[in-house]
């Protein structure tokens, strides 16, 4: 499994796509095992089309989005939110469903927990079913 320093997340508003070297990018024809720093210059985010400059590592010295999200989650929990608002990652492509952002493309409003998604919900990147997501 890739370390958080090797996994990068798109910072474009309402995107959150995660590039995991262990999974590659089937849509972008990036093979498994390809490190983010080795992506072609013309590679684009599978979800929103952003360039590699729009990505940050989930952990490390580059101002971690992961750390920011933990701070937001902690703040939300202290205001009475429950564990139902956890993020879920698609096991197939690495897309992260973030309840704080929802899924605009599927018409899912921000604040909708993963458990409240319909059973026929599909990953907006690869089309995997809800059962192909794992809690983060």
Helix H or strand E segment including 78? helix 65-78
CATH of the domain at 119: 2.20.28.10
Task: Please name the residues in contact with 112: beta carbons below 8 A apart, sequence gap of 6 or more.
Answer: 99, 102
Number of domains making up the chain: 1
Query: Tens digits of per-residue pLDDT, 30-88?
Result: 999 999 999 998 999 988 889 998 898 877 644 444 444 444 443 444 444 444 588 99
Answer whether residue 2 is part of any domain. no
110-134 pLDDT, tens digit per residue, is 899 999 999 999 888 888 899 989 9
71 within a domain of the structure (yes/no): yes
């Amino acid at each position: 499994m890739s370390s958080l320093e090797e996994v990068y997340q798109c910072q474009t508003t309402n995107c959150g796509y995660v590039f995991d070297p262990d999974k590659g990018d089937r849509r972008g024809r990036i093979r498994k095992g390809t490190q983010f720093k080795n992506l072609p210059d013309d590679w684009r985010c599978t979800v929103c089309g952003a360039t590699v400059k729009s990505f940050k590592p989930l952990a490390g010295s580059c101002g971690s989005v992961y750390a920011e999200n933990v701070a937001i989650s902690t703040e939300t929990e202290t205001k009475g939110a429950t564990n139902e608002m956890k993020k879920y990652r698609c096991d197939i492509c690495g897309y992260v469903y973030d309840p704080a952002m929802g899924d605009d493309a599927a018409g899912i409003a921000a604040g909708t927990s993963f458990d409240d998604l319909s059973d026929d919900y599909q990953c907006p990147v690869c089309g995997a079913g809800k059962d192909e997501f794992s809690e983060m």
